[in-house]
Amino acid sequence: MIAAKLAAPLLFHWAIALINASPIGSGDCSRPTAVLADGVVIGTTSRLVSTPHLTVHQYLGIPFAKSPPRRFMPPEESTPWNSPWDASYLRPSCFQYFPSSELRGIFNNPPPPESEDCLYLNIFVPPTPPPTGGFTVLFWIHGGTFQLGSGRLPDYDGSSIAANQEVVVVTINYRTNVFGFPGSQDIPLEQRNLGLMDQRKALAWVNKNIKAFGGDPSQVTIFGESAGGFSSQAFGPEESNEEDWMVLTRKLGCNEPCVGSTQLDCVAKVPAEAILKILDEEGLWFTPIVDNTTNGPFFAEAVLQRRAASVPILIGTNADEGSILASLMPSPEVMLDVIFRNDTASKNFARSAYPTNLTEHELKSLILTDHTYTCTTSATARAAVSSAQSVWRYYFNASFPNNQPIPGAGAWHTSEIPLVFGTYRRNNQTTFEQSLLSRAMQKAWGDFAKTPETGPGWARMGSSVDDLRIFDISGNSSGRSTDTQVVDSVCIYYDEAIEANGF
């Protein structure tokens, strides 16, 4: 997960619960209200199930842009409304594409309604009067490999962290897969990253309107996980979606459009469900491209060129990131070939880091965890420190029986999110340690957002030998600090390749 403030910090992560709040009161007179330039918004007040004496104001499903947007077009300004906007319920997610049934079962349970009418955000506000200047704002960008995800998932209910840390939490939808990142040559390069443009539109909306909800527009921290963490820095490898776009147009019968029409016009008229069916059948993948407007070069290059925002950063990974993702990967040999290219000696050296009796799934999980997450995050953090940015790093290594989607998942990719948001399952498997760890992580994220210059409560990278905070259940409920080499020792096998390939 990564966190960083707008024009100040970022929270990254390279994290299914029950909704943690229940409505109280139904009359308009008892409902919280905000007055915006576009019109009046009426939300709802909810009580935390875990802490009944705490309440939070929820404003759900507010349009941050015209919705539905025109397909394959940049987001436009929202249309003002004449009657009060009912912000008491969640709006649909954007259309999702799941590359495997396993991921669908983990990340789409229960499945939310989906629609192109999806450019909405949700705001969670403490019920207490805001401090001078307003509440600190946490702006959440969900993950999902830019193929899937939604701001309305139960895990992202911001009620608990808003109430416990007295911050405003914003969660957003944005277009994903081909709807968010079309590869048509008929679209100008700088207009193809529609999903990233949606995120920026939502952030601009927050800057303009959050004061009406008690938030401070000058104190906004962006935090996100996986693709959301990537989005918070928006520097990455150059990809091309044009080949997959051509497959899509051919399968839809749009490769030879009518006279006076284009392939783009043809695809724009096809029902969304037909498009998703082809994505699923053909395994088509659409991600951000480098346009030097919404997405720049590699982060390390941006740091050297002074193009990266100089803001405080909180960044971290989980101990078993690859456990639920290994099924999507090719064989371990192919994974190492991609990492090391023609460098057979380095490939063999990396293979020697792992026991020879591992199953293929276990080996793929370790390679993915070590190279793509632990060591790439370490390189990213070091690059930021080298440019005099203040960076705090953490490592999540806790697993609980009520949050294991597959046997042996461990501290799997995204498993820290329910603890940060306080949305972990509460059932007969919930442990006291889980509750304590959630409180500690909420406090760290809240402290970082409120005073990013002083950090989340442990040593800044480079200021101490023990500058890595480990969140586990070792007995210290607030986490423990240690030397980064405790988790980075494996990076001796990957650092050179990471530097050569770019990050």
- Look at the block and give the residue holding tokens 């990142």: 181
Neighbours of 17 (CB within 10 A): 19
453 is catalytic: no
226 is catalytic: yes
13, 321, 378, 438: which one is catalytic?
321
| Contact between residue 304 and residue 242 where contact means Cβ atoms under 8 Å apart | no
57 is catalytic: no
| C-alpha to C-alpha distances, 401 to 207, 231, 405, nearest whole angstrom | 40, 31, 9
3-class secondary structure for 6-53?
Answer: CCCCEEEECCCCCCCEEEECCCHHHCCEEECCCCEEECEEEEECCCCC
- Which tokens go with 502? 């770019």
142, 184, 413, 415: which one is catalytic?
413
Residue 319's nearest CA partner among 417, 380, 409 is: 409
Long-range pairs for 69-73 at CB < 8 Å and ≥24 separation?
69/116, 69/119, 69/175, 69/194, 69/198, 71/116, 71/179, 71/268, 72/179, 72/182, 72/184, 72/187, 72/194, 72/264, 72/267, 72/268, 73/191, 73/194
CA distance 278 to 247: 9
88, 184, 226, 346: which one is catalytic?
226
Alpha-carbon torsion 183, 296, 416, 223, what sign?
negative
Indicate the length of the chain as a whole number: 503
Q: Which residues carry out catalysis? A: 226, 321, 413
